Amino acid sequence: MDTRCKNRFVATTKEKWDLNQYWYSANTIASLKKEVQEHATKVAFLSTPSVWFSLENSDIKNRSFFFDVPFPHFLISLLMICLWIRSSSCKNIVSEAAHWMSLQVDSQWEKHSNFVYWNYNQPSEVDRTMHHQFDCVVIDPPFVTREVWAKYSEAALLLLKEGGKIILSTIPENAEMLKHMLNVKRQAFQPSIPHLVYQYAFFTNYESANFSFPNPEVDS
Ligand SMILES: C[S@@+](CC[C@H](N)C(=O)[O-])C[C@H]1O[C@@H](n2cnc3c(N)ncnc32)[C@H](O)[C@@H]1O
């Protein structure tokens, strides 16, 4: 029997590798969705857009936000300047490129009222009205380094209410560092991230029944 489920976000959203976008598998998203829908009421999804898009509980979905960068704006600006400099001889190319880029930006997540433009390099640049408002954060950064995790930890602690739940994925080697930063513990369930070469683990700061057994999708 084929137990793989389908996911609309994964099927329709191309991963942008310049942003290190690696989506969880449909089954892993289903497990995360079950977990947050059982344990949370308002979630901050830090660099985990696939899970927000996949939520079925509309109350939780409407109250929650996904924090991400939809497109590398600085790259667009740089490209626009380069094209503008060369524009005297290639007017058509410039207008074609501008059109293509505006489509790229428009078609991204900015139109969603639950999207928050947030760059982990400025972790605390979050509207004050969002401080300590969430009872759960779900985190999957584009990098696994200490510097990057320090920034995600700062943002998570700013957004979470006291006693809020943390679910994150990263390499198992980060266990000790993340114990100190966010008091999280490795879980038995490992996420499947089909296009990522590393095998990640899930970590939480609470006992999770859903993540207490191995993921049949992942070879252990
Ligand atoms: C490894 S992927 C995690 C995606 C997650 N597994 C999912 O299925 O939703 C890294 C995420 O970080 C986001 N990202 C990349 N650069 C970022 C930045 N500077 N600030 C915030 N998020 C960023 C990407 O857009 C992507 O959603």
How confident is the model over 96-131, as pLDDT tens digits? 555 555 445 445 788 899 999 999 999 999 999 999
Written as six digits, the tokens of 173 are: 């080697």
pLDDT tens for each residue of 130-176: 999 999 999 999 999 999 999 999 999 999 999 999 999 999 999 99
- Among 42-51, 84-93, 185-194, 211-220, the minimum mean pLDDT is found in 84-93
Taking CA atoms, 147 is separated from 69, 143, 177, 181, in Å, by: 18, 9, 11, 11
Decide whether any atom of ligand 1 lies within 6 Å of the 45 Cβ: no
Taking CA atoms, 202 is separated from 32, 144, 167, in Å, by: 10, 13, 7
pLDDT cut 90: percent of the chain above it? 75
Judge residue 9's burial from the number of C-beta atoms within 10 Å of its C-beta, 0-12 exposed, 13-18 middle, 19 or more buried. middle
Decide whether any atom of ligand 1 lies within 6 Å of the 48 Cβ: yes
Residue 50 lies in a domain: yes
Check whether 8 has a pLDDT greater than 70: yes
Alpha helix positions (H), 72-145:
73-85, 91-106
Same domain? For 84 and 121 the reply is no
Residues 32, 66: contact at Cβ < 8 Å?
no
Which of 87, 106, 125 terminates a domain? The answer is 106
Output the CA 207–ligand 1 centroid distance in Å: 26
Residue 220 lies in a domain: no
Confidence category of residue 92, pLDDT binned at 50, 70, 90 = low
Decide whether any atom of ligand 1 lies within 6 Å of the 108 Cβ: no
The pick from 12, 47, 124, 159 for probing ligand 1's pocket by mutation, whose C-beta has the most ligand atoms within 8 angstroms, reads 47
Q: What is the pLDDT of residue 17?
A: 85
Decide whether any atom of ligand 1 lies within 6 Å of the 158 Cβ: no
- 25-54 mean pLDDT: 97
Output the CA 54–ligand 1 centroid distance in Å: 16
Q: What is the count of structural domains for the chain?
A: 2
Q: Which amino acid is at 208?
A: S
Q: What is the pLDDT of residue 220?
A: 74
Written as six digits, the tokens of 31 are: 């497990």
Decide whether any atom of ligand 1 lies within 6 Å of the 23 Cβ: yes
Same domain? For 120 and 95 the reply is no
pLDDT tens for each residue of 44-76: 999 999 999 999 999 999 999 999 997 655 555
Q: What is the pLDDT of residue 103?
A: 45
Return d(Cα 169, Cα 5) in angstroms, integer: 21
Decide whether any atom of ligand 1 lies within 6 Å of the 25 Cβ: no
Same domain? For 81 and 127 the reply is no
Q: What is the pLDDT of residue 105?
A: 46
Same domain? For 82 and 189 the reply is no
- What residues are paired with 46 via a beta bridge? 67, 139
User: Is the model more confident about 151 or about 78?
Assistant: 151
Confidence category of residue 7, pLDDT binned at 50, 70, 90 = very high
H helices, E strands: number in the chain: 8, 7
| CATH number, position 186 | 3.40.50.150
